[in-house]
Homo-oligomer: A and B are copies of this chain.
Protein backbone atom coordinates (compact mmCIF):
# COMPACT_ATOMS: atom_id res chain seq x y z
CA UNK A 1 0.00 0.00 0.00
CA UNK A 2 1.53 3.25 -1.09
CA UNK A 3 -0.41 6.06 0.49
CA UNK A 4 2.29 8.58 -0.23
CA UNK A 5 1.13 8.66 -3.84
CA UNK A 6 -2.45 9.65 -3.03
CA UNK A 7 -3.27 13.02 -4.49
CA UNK A 8 -6.56 14.62 -5.38
CA UNK A 9 -7.43 13.76 -8.97
CA UNK A 10 -5.71 16.27 -11.23
CA UNK A 11 -8.18 18.01 -13.53
CA UNK A 12 -7.84 16.97 -17.15
CA UNK A 13 -6.62 19.59 -19.60
CA UNK A 14 -10.23 20.15 -20.52
CA UNK A 15 -13.08 19.21 -18.24
CA UNK A 16 -16.35 20.78 -17.11
CA UNK A 17 -17.48 22.82 -14.14
CA UNK A 18 -19.58 19.81 -13.10
CA UNK A 19 -16.46 17.62 -12.83
CA UNK A 20 -14.19 19.89 -10.79
CA UNK A 21 -13.45 19.21 -7.12
CA UNK A 22 -15.09 21.93 -5.01
CA UNK A 23 -14.43 24.47 -3.71
CA UNK A 24 -12.19 25.85 -6.43
CA UNK A 25 -11.46 29.08 -8.26
CA UNK A 26 -13.02 29.77 -11.67
CA UNK A 27 -11.78 32.44 -14.06
CA UNK A 28 -13.97 33.71 -16.90
CA UNK A 29 -11.33 34.61 -19.48
CA UNK A 30 -13.83 36.52 -21.63
CA UNK A 31 -14.53 38.90 -18.79
CA UNK A 32 -10.82 39.19 -18.00
CA UNK A 33 -9.97 40.03 -21.62
CA UNK A 34 -12.71 42.66 -21.70
CA UNK A 35 -11.45 44.23 -18.46
CA UNK A 36 -7.90 44.41 -19.82
CA UNK A 37 -9.00 45.93 -23.13
CA UNK A 38 -11.05 48.55 -21.37
CA UNK A 39 -8.19 49.89 -19.24
CA UNK A 40 -5.65 49.59 -22.03
CA UNK A 41 -7.82 51.71 -24.38
CA UNK A 42 -8.23 54.28 -21.66
CA UNK A 43 -4.52 54.61 -20.96
CA UNK A 44 -3.61 54.58 -24.65
CA UNK A 45 -5.86 57.60 -25.09
CA UNK A 46 -4.13 59.32 -22.16
CA UNK A 47 -0.69 58.55 -23.60
CA UNK A 48 0.74 56.64 -20.64
CA UNK A 49 1.93 53.09 -20.34
CA UNK A 50 0.40 50.43 -18.12
CA UNK A 51 2.63 48.70 -15.57
CA UNK A 52 0.14 46.06 -14.32
CA UNK A 53 0.33 44.96 -10.72
CA UNK A 54 0.67 41.18 -10.67
CA UNK A 55 -0.19 40.73 -6.96
CA UNK A 56 -3.82 39.93 -7.78
CA UNK A 57 -2.97 37.39 -10.45
CA UNK A 58 0.16 35.61 -9.09
CA UNK A 59 0.07 33.54 -12.25
CA UNK A 60 2.28 33.84 -15.30
CA UNK A 61 -0.60 32.73 -17.53
CA UNK A 62 -2.73 35.63 -16.34
CA UNK A 63 0.22 38.04 -16.30
CA UNK A 64 1.00 37.37 -19.96
CA UNK A 65 -2.56 38.33 -20.82
CA UNK A 66 -2.33 41.77 -19.30
CA UNK A 67 1.30 42.83 -19.58
CA UNK A 68 2.17 44.87 -22.69
CA UNK A 69 5.01 42.43 -23.50
CA UNK A 70 6.36 39.16 -22.05
CA UNK A 71 9.25 41.12 -20.47
CA UNK A 72 6.96 43.59 -18.71
CA UNK A 73 6.81 46.20 -17.37
CA UNK A 74 5.09 44.91 -14.25
CA UNK A 75 4.60 45.66 -10.57
CA UNK A 76 4.95 43.10 -7.76
CA UNK A 77 4.19 43.08 -4.05
CA UNK A 78 6.65 40.39 -2.86
CA UNK A 79 10.10 39.14 -3.79
CA UNK A 80 8.53 35.74 -4.37
CA UNK A 81 6.48 37.31 -7.16
CA UNK A 82 9.61 38.99 -8.53
CA UNK A 83 11.46 35.67 -8.53
CA UNK A 84 8.60 33.66 -10.03
CA UNK A 85 7.88 36.14 -12.78
CA UNK A 86 11.60 36.59 -13.49
CA UNK A 87 11.87 32.83 -13.91
CA UNK A 88 9.09 33.12 -16.52
CA UNK A 89 10.87 35.87 -18.46
CA UNK A 90 9.67 39.16 -16.96
CA UNK A 91 12.59 41.62 -16.94
CA UNK A 92 11.18 44.99 -15.80
CA UNK A 93 9.57 45.08 -12.35
CA UNK A 94 8.96 47.47 -9.48
CA UNK A 95 8.70 45.81 -6.06
CA UNK A 96 6.15 48.29 -4.74
CA UNK A 97 6.37 47.71 -0.98
CA UNK A 98 8.87 49.72 1.07
CA UNK A 99 12.13 47.80 1.07
CA UNK A 100 13.38 46.09 4.23
CA UNK A 101 17.19 46.23 4.29
CA UNK A 102 17.47 42.47 4.83
CA UNK A 103 15.72 41.88 1.50
CA UNK A 104 18.29 43.72 -0.59
CA UNK A 105 20.49 40.64 -1.03
CA UNK A 106 17.65 38.87 -2.85
CA UNK A 107 17.09 42.01 -4.94
CA UNK A 108 20.77 42.14 -5.91
CA UNK A 109 20.74 38.44 -6.78
CA UNK A 110 17.86 38.95 -9.23
CA UNK A 111 19.46 42.06 -10.72
CA UNK A 112 22.72 40.15 -11.21
CA UNK A 113 20.74 37.77 -13.44
CA UNK A 114 19.58 40.55 -15.73
CA UNK A 115 16.26 41.48 -14.16
CA UNK A 116 15.67 45.21 -13.82
CA UNK A 117 14.03 45.01 -10.39
CA UNK A 118 13.44 48.42 -8.75
CA UNK A 119 12.73 48.94 -5.04
CA UNK A 120 10.78 51.72 -3.33
CA UNK A 121 11.39 53.54 -0.05
CA UNK A 122 10.42 56.62 1.92
CA UNK A 123 13.19 57.07 4.52
CA UNK A 124 16.82 58.18 4.48
CA UNK A 125 17.71 54.99 6.42
CA UNK A 126 16.36 52.82 3.61
CA UNK A 127 18.20 54.90 1.01
CA UNK A 128 21.42 54.40 2.98
CA UNK A 129 20.72 50.67 3.16
CA UNK A 130 20.24 50.57 -0.63
CA UNK A 131 23.52 52.44 -1.10
CA UNK A 132 25.29 50.04 1.25
CA UNK A 133 23.82 46.97 -0.49
CA UNK A 134 24.84 48.49 -3.83
CA UNK A 135 28.43 48.82 -2.64
CA UNK A 136 28.39 45.27 -1.26
CA UNK A 137 27.01 43.85 -4.52
CA UNK A 138 29.16 45.98 -6.81
CA UNK A 139 26.13 47.39 -8.64
CA UNK A 140 23.80 50.40 -8.41
CA UNK A 141 20.42 49.18 -7.16
CA UNK A 142 17.67 51.49 -8.46
CA UNK A 143 15.10 52.86 -6.03
CA UNK A 144 12.04 55.07 -6.36
CA UNK A 145 10.86 57.45 -3.66
CA UNK A 146 7.36 56.62 -2.45
CA UNK A 147 5.17 59.71 -2.24
CA UNK A 148 2.18 60.07 0.08
CA UNK A 149 -0.69 61.58 -1.96
CA UNK A 150 -3.55 61.04 0.51
CA UNK A 151 -2.31 60.14 4.00
CA UNK A 152 -3.44 56.58 3.38
CA UNK A 153 -0.33 54.58 4.24
CA UNK A 154 3.33 55.14 3.39
CA UNK A 155 5.34 57.78 1.58
CA UNK A 156 6.92 61.21 1.89
CA UNK A 157 4.51 64.13 1.56
CA UNK A 158 5.48 66.24 -1.48
CA UNK A 159 5.85 69.35 0.67
CA UNK A 160 8.62 67.72 2.72
CA UNK A 161 11.31 69.02 0.39
CA UNK A 162 14.16 68.39 2.80
CA UNK A 163 13.42 64.68 3.11
CA UNK A 164 12.82 64.19 -0.60
CA UNK A 165 16.08 65.87 -1.49
CA UNK A 166 18.09 64.04 1.16
CA UNK A 167 16.79 60.66 0.00
CA UNK A 168 17.43 61.63 -3.61
CA UNK A 169 20.99 62.69 -2.88
CA UNK A 170 21.81 59.52 -0.93
CA UNK A 171 20.46 57.41 -3.81
CA UNK A 172 22.27 59.40 -6.51
CA UNK A 173 25.54 59.17 -4.61
CA UNK A 174 25.46 55.47 -3.75
CA UNK A 175 22.74 53.75 -5.75
CA UNK A 176 20.34 54.96 -8.48
CA UNK A 177 17.37 57.29 -8.21
CA UNK A 178 14.82 55.87 -10.65
CA UNK A 179 11.91 58.21 -9.93
CA UNK A 180 8.83 58.72 -7.78
CA UNK A 181 5.76 56.58 -7.18
CA UNK A 182 2.43 56.96 -5.38
CA UNK A 183 -0.78 55.01 -4.77
CA UNK A 184 -4.16 56.61 -4.02
CA UNK A 185 -5.30 54.03 -1.48
CA UNK A 186 -8.11 56.30 -0.36
CA UNK A 187 -9.76 55.92 -3.78
CA UNK A 188 -11.08 52.51 -2.65
CA UNK A 189 -13.51 54.39 -0.45
CA UNK A 190 -15.45 55.40 -3.53
CA UNK A 191 -17.55 58.56 -3.49
CA UNK A 192 -18.58 58.78 -7.11
CA UNK A 193 -17.05 59.90 -10.38
CA UNK A 194 -16.09 63.40 -9.29
CA UNK A 195 -14.44 62.15 -6.10
CA UNK A 196 -12.49 59.59 -8.14
CA UNK A 197 -11.39 62.29 -10.57
CA UNK A 198 -10.16 64.33 -7.59
CA UNK A 199 -8.26 61.31 -6.19
CA UNK A 200 -6.67 60.77 -9.60
CA UNK A 201 -5.66 64.40 -9.91
CA UNK A 202 -4.25 64.42 -6.35
CA UNK A 203 -2.23 61.33 -7.25
CA UNK A 204 -0.87 63.02 -10.36
CA UNK A 205 -0.09 66.31 -8.66
CA UNK A 206 1.75 64.63 -5.78
CA UNK A 207 4.25 62.82 -7.99
CA UNK A 208 4.59 65.60 -10.55
CA UNK A 209 5.39 68.10 -7.78
CA UNK A 210 7.93 65.70 -6.24
CA UNK A 211 9.51 65.03 -9.63
CA UNK A 212 9.82 68.76 -10.32
CA UNK A 213 11.50 69.31 -6.96
CA UNK A 214 14.03 66.53 -7.59
CA UNK A 215 14.77 67.72 -11.13
CA UNK A 216 15.16 71.31 -9.96
CA UNK A 217 17.94 70.03 -7.70
CA UNK A 218 19.56 68.27 -10.68
CA UNK A 219 18.43 64.88 -9.46
CA UNK A 220 17.20 62.39 -12.10
CA UNK A 221 13.55 61.31 -12.13
CA UNK A 222 12.87 59.20 -15.23
CA UNK A 223 9.84 57.32 -13.85
CA UNK A 224 6.78 59.12 -12.53
CA UNK A 225 4.40 56.37 -11.51
CA UNK A 226 0.83 56.52 -10.21
CA UNK A 227 -1.77 53.91 -9.75
CA UNK A 228 -4.83 52.32 -8.30
CA UNK A 229 -7.65 50.61 -10.16
CA UNK A 230 -10.22 53.32 -9.29
CA UNK A 231 -8.01 56.27 -10.27
CA UNK A 232 -6.73 54.51 -13.40
CA UNK A 233 -10.36 54.37 -14.57
CA UNK A 234 -11.08 58.03 -13.77
CA UNK A 235 -7.99 60.12 -14.48
CA UNK A 236 -8.81 62.81 -17.06
CA UNK A 237 -5.27 64.09 -17.49
CA UNK A 238 -1.98 62.38 -16.73
CA UNK A 239 0.42 65.12 -17.85
CA UNK A 240 3.84 64.53 -16.32
CA UNK A 241 3.08 60.91 -15.42
CA UNK A 242 4.99 58.19 -17.28
CA UNK A 243 3.08 55.08 -16.19
CA UNK A 244 0.01 53.78 -14.39
CA UNK A 245 -0.03 50.78 -12.07
CA UNK A 246 -3.25 48.83 -11.48
CA UNK A 247 -3.94 45.22 -10.60
CA UNK A 248 -7.39 44.25 -9.43
CA UNK A 249 -8.94 45.61 -12.65
CA UNK A 250 -7.96 42.38 -14.42
CA UNK A 251 -10.59 40.48 -12.43
CA UNK A 252 -12.58 43.19 -10.62
CA UNK A 253 -14.67 42.28 -7.56
CA UNK A 254 -17.69 43.32 -5.50
CA UNK A 255 -15.78 46.10 -3.73
CA UNK A 256 -14.97 47.65 -7.11
CA UNK A 257 -18.57 47.15 -8.27
CA UNK A 258 -19.76 48.75 -5.03
CA UNK A 259 -17.86 51.96 -5.77
CA UNK A 260 -18.94 51.99 -9.40
CA UNK A 261 -15.67 51.09 -11.12
CA UNK A 262 -17.22 48.05 -12.79
CA UNK A 263 -20.49 46.17 -13.07
CA UNK A 264 -21.14 42.92 -11.23
CA UNK A 265 -21.13 41.20 -14.64
CA UNK A 266 -17.52 42.29 -15.20
CA UNK A 267 -16.22 40.22 -12.26
CA UNK A 268 -14.05 37.51 -13.81
CA UNK A 269 -13.27 35.27 -10.80
CA UNK A 270 -15.66 33.22 -8.71
CA UNK A 271 -15.52 30.31 -6.29
CA UNK A 272 -17.29 27.15 -7.42
CA UNK A 273 -19.04 25.46 -4.47
CA UNK A 274 -21.39 22.52 -3.90
CA UNK A 275 -24.61 22.49 -1.90
CA UNK A 276 -24.17 20.15 1.11
CA UNK A 277 -27.36 20.82 3.07
CA UNK A 278 -30.30 23.04 3.98
CA UNK A 279 -31.76 24.61 7.09
CA UNK A 280 -35.11 25.31 5.48
CA UNK A 281 -36.81 26.93 8.49
CA UNK A 282 -34.02 29.49 8.60
CA UNK A 283 -33.88 30.03 4.84
CA UNK A 284 -30.32 28.73 4.60
CA UNK A 285 -28.56 26.72 1.93
CA UNK A 286 -25.26 25.28 3.19
CA UNK A 287 -22.33 24.84 0.78
CA UNK A 288 -18.73 23.67 0.97
CA UNK A 289 -17.59 27.20 0.07
CA UNK A 290 -16.52 28.58 3.45
CA UNK A 291 -14.11 31.38 4.27
CA UNK A 292 -11.12 29.18 3.51
CA UNK A 293 -12.09 29.34 -0.15
CA UNK A 294 -13.73 32.80 -0.16
CA UNK A 295 -11.25 34.48 2.23
CA UNK A 296 -12.21 36.38 5.35
CA UNK A 297 -12.45 39.61 3.36
CA UNK A 298 -15.62 41.56 4.20
CA UNK A 299 -14.72 44.59 2.13
CA UNK A 300 -18.34 45.38 1.22
CA UNK A 301 -19.45 45.48 4.87
CA UNK A 302 -19.14 49.28 4.96
CA UNK A 303 -20.46 49.87 1.45
CA UNK A 304 -24.05 50.77 0.60
CA UNK A 305 -24.72 47.14 -0.39
CA UNK A 306 -23.22 44.59 1.99
CA UNK A 307 -22.54 41.46 -0.06
CA UNK A 308 -21.75 39.27 2.97
CA UNK A 309 -19.00 36.83 1.94
CA UNK A 310 -20.01 37.05 -1.71
CA UNK A 311 -22.79 37.21 -4.28
CA UNK A 312 -24.23 33.91 -5.52
CA UNK A 313 -24.51 32.91 -9.20
CA UNK A 314 -25.63 29.71 -10.86
CA UNK A 315 -23.00 27.37 -12.28
CA UNK A 316 -23.07 29.29 -15.57
CA UNK A 317 -22.23 32.57 -13.87
CA UNK A 318 -25.72 34.13 -13.95
CA UNK A 319 -26.20 36.17 -10.79
CA UNK A 320 -29.09 35.30 -8.49
CA UNK A 321 -30.61 38.61 -7.53
CA UNK A 322 -30.02 39.43 -3.82
CA UNK A 323 -28.76 35.97 -2.89
CA UNK A 324 -25.55 36.20 -0.86
CA UNK A 325 -23.24 34.13 1.31
CA UNK A 326 -24.65 35.57 4.52
CA UNK A 327 -22.13 33.88 6.81
CA UNK A 328 -19.18 31.54 6.55
CA UNK A 329 -17.22 29.11 8.68
CA UNK A 330 -13.93 27.57 7.64
CA UNK A 331 -15.41 25.07 5.17
CA UNK A 332 -19.11 26.01 5.27
CA UNK A 333 -20.86 28.84 3.49
CA UNK A 334 -24.40 29.85 4.44
CA UNK A 335 -26.38 31.14 1.48
CA UNK A 336 -29.41 33.28 2.29
CA UNK A 337 -31.59 36.04 0.88
CA UNK A 338 -30.21 39.54 1.42
CA UNK A 339 -32.16 40.93 4.39
CA UNK A 340 -34.97 43.26 3.33
CA UNK A 341 -34.70 42.44 -0.36
CA UNK A 342 -37.82 40.28 -0.58
CA UNK A 343 -35.94 37.93 -2.94
CA UNK A 344 -36.66 34.21 -2.98
CA UNK A 345 -34.07 31.53 -2.31
CA UNK A 346 -33.28 29.51 -5.46
CA UNK A 347 -34.36 25.90 -5.50
CA UNK A 348 -31.04 24.10 -5.09
CA UNK A 349 -30.64 20.45 -4.13
CA UNK A 350 -27.77 18.74 -2.31
CA UNK A 351 -25.03 18.28 -4.91
CA UNK A 352 -26.00 21.31 -7.03
CA UNK A 353 -23.25 23.81 -7.74
CA UNK A 354 -23.06 27.59 -7.48
CA UNK A 355 -20.44 30.24 -8.17
CA UNK A 356 -19.67 32.96 -5.63
CA UNK A 357 -18.42 36.38 -6.75
CA UNK A 358 -15.82 37.64 -4.25
CA UNK A 359 -15.67 40.83 -2.24
CA UNK A 360 -11.98 41.19 -2.96
CA UNK A 361 -10.33 39.35 -5.83
CA UNK A 362 -6.79 39.59 -4.38
CA UNK A 363 -7.85 37.98 -1.10
CA UNK A 364 -10.06 35.29 -2.59
CA UNK A 365 -7.66 34.26 -5.33
CA UNK A 366 -4.89 33.96 -2.73
CA UNK A 367 -6.76 31.08 -1.11
CA UNK A 368 -6.33 28.94 -4.22
CA UNK A 369 -3.54 27.15 -6.09
CA UNK A 370 -5.03 27.40 -9.59
CA UNK A 371 -7.50 29.13 -11.89
CA UNK A 372 -9.96 26.92 -13.75
CA UNK A 373 -10.56 28.83 -16.96
CA UNK A 374 -13.95 29.12 -18.64
CA UNK A 375 -15.36 31.54 -21.22
CA UNK A 376 -18.72 33.23 -20.79
CA UNK A 377 -21.67 30.98 -20.02
CA UNK A 378 -19.90 27.80 -21.10
CA UNK A 379 -19.36 25.06 -18.51
CA UNK A 380 -16.28 23.79 -20.38
CA UNK A 381 -13.05 24.29 -18.47
CA UNK A 382 -10.42 25.15 -21.09
CA UNK A 383 -7.35 25.21 -18.90
CA UNK A 384 -5.99 25.04 -15.39
CA UNK A 385 -3.50 27.83 -14.71
CA UNK A 386 -1.38 27.45 -11.59
CA UNK A 387 -0.93 30.33 -9.18
CA UNK A 388 1.47 30.73 -6.26
CA UNK A 389 1.55 32.36 -2.85
CA UNK A 390 4.17 33.06 -0.23
CA UNK A 391 7.04 35.48 0.09
What is the interface of chain A, defined by CB distance below 8 A to chain B?
A: 1, 3-9, 21-24, 55, 77-80, 83, 86-87, 89, 97-103, 106, 109-110, 113-115, 121-123, 125-126, 129, 148, 151, 153-154, 185, 274-279, 282, 286, 288, 291-293, 295-298, 329-332, 334, 349-351, 360, 362-363, 366-369, 389-391
Contact = CB atoms under 8 A, between A and B. Distances in A.
Nearest to A91: B3
Contacts of A332: 97-98, 153-154
Given A277-B154, A278-B123, A101 B351 contact: yes
Contact of A8 (B80, B89, B279, B360): B80
A123 B350 contact: yes
A105 to B, nearest CB: 9
B391 A23 contact: yes
Contacts of A293: 391
A60 to B, nearest CB: 12
A113 B148 CA distance: 59
Contacts of A292: 77, 366, 389
7 contacts: A8-B106, A21-B103, A77-B330, A97-B332, A123-B278, A123-B350, A154-B286
A85 to B, nearest CB: 10
- Closest 7 A/B residue pairs (Cβ): A296-B296, A98-B276, A100-B274, A3-B87, A296-B297, A77-B331, A125-B350
Given A21-B103, A292-B366, 20 more contacts: A3-B86, A3-B87, A6-B110, A8-B80, A8-B83, A8-B390, A21-B79, A21-B391, A22-B100, A97-B331, A98-B277, A100-B350, A101-B351, A122-B277, A125-B351, A126-B350, A154-B286, A293-B391, A295-B296, A369-B390
A293 B87 CA distance: 23
A288 B334 contact: no
Contacts of A114: 1
